[in-house]
């Protein structure tokens, strides 16, 4: 089949994606130059526009990739918990933790919403949100959690966690602030219990 060609093409796509992650994370979306970014991996803007359409398309691809990785990681952590409720708390803590990484923070939490709009409208559908919603739905079904709209609760929980993470990361003393944030998260989440 057309393997040789498609193979190489996929490789350049990945190289561009990787370079974009670094550039967007370090300089931010607006300040990242497409010329510099492509040159860093030995290509030109031609390749970029061929693969991703425009600068925004590139950001979308990067965000989708990171979002999927986050959701997978959170899901894996949740799986290791004895009860579903513990899984929910653990996933929340995981989000707070992940959002401390500069790459996640800058790209997914700050530039992502500004450039691509509300996360729930992204094509990736915000996998993180989906994961949390699923867990909540089951918790409501088995009576652990009060009867609220699962999607609404998931959005609030996620928003709280991500906001907490932003706070921790921007703090001068993250080590002191992190436990406070996690404790507050647990207290707040307990409001959902039946």
Partner DNA sequence: ATCGTTACATACGGGGCGTATGTCAACTCG
Partner DNA sequence: CGAGTTGACATACGCCCCGTATGTAACGAT
Binding site for a copy of itself (CB under 8 A): 28-30, 109-111, 113-115, 117-118, 120-121, 146, 148-149, 151-153, 155-164, 166-167, 169-170, 177, 180-181, 183-185, 187-193
In the complex with DNA, which residue's Cβ is closer, 35 or 149? 35
**Smallest separation, CB 183 to a copy of itself (Å):** 6
For residues 53 and 103, give the distance between their C-alpha atoms in angstroms, rounded to a whole number: 23
Phi, psi dihedral angles at 43 (to 5 degrees): -130, -175
Task: Name, in order, each residue with C-beta under 8 angstroms of 71's C-beta and a sequence gap of 6 or more.
Answer: 127, 128, 130, 131
3-state secondary structure of 191: helix
For residues 26 and 146, give the distance between their C-alpha atoms in angstroms, rounded to a whole number: 42
**Smallest separation, CB 126 to DNA (Å):** 23
User: Among 33, 120, 121, 125, which residue interacts with DNA (rule: CB under 7 A)?
Assistant: 33
3-state secondary structure of 145: strand
**Residues 173, 119 contacting (CB under 8 angstroms):** no
In the complex with DNA, which residue's Cβ is closer, 7 or 175? 7
Judged by beta carbon distances under 5 to 8 A according to partner kind, the member of a copy of itself, DNA, none in contact with residue 43 is DNA
CB atoms inside a 10 Å sphere around CB 69: 13
**Residues 106, 99 contacting (CB under 8 angstroms):** no
In the complex with DNA, which residue's Cβ is closer, 45 or 138? 45
Residue 46 interacts with DNA (CB under 7 A): yes or no: yes
Residue 26 interacts with DNA (CB under 7 A): yes or no: no
Summarize as ranges the residues that interact with DNA (CB under 7 A): 1-5, 8-9, 12-13, 32-36, 38, 42-47, 49-51, 54-56
């Amino acid at each position: 089949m057309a393997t040789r060609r498609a193979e190489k093409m996929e490789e350049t796509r990945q190289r561009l994606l990787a370079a974009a992650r670094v550039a967007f994370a370090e300089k931010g979306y607006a300040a990242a130059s497409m010329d510099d970014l492509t040159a860093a991996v030995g290509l030109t803007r031609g390749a970029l526009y061929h693969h991703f359409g425009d600068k925004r398309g590139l950001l979308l691809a990067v965000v989708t990739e990171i979002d999927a990785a986050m959701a997978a990681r959170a899901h894996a952590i949740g799986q290791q918990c004895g009860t579903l409720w513990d899984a929910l708390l653990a996933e929340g803590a995981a989000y707070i933790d992940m959002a401390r990484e500069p790459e996640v923070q800058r790209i997914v939490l700050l530039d992502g919403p500004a450039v691509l709009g509300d996360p729930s409208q992204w094509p990736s559908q915000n996998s993180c949100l989906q994961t949390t919603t699923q867990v909540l739905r089951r918790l409501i079904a088995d009576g652990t959690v009060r009867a609220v709209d699962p999607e609404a609760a998931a959005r609030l929980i996620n928003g709280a966690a991500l906001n907490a993470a932003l706070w921790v990361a921007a703090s001068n003393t993250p080590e002191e602030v992190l436990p406070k944030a996690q404790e507050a998260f647990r207290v707040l989440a307990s409001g959902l219990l039946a």
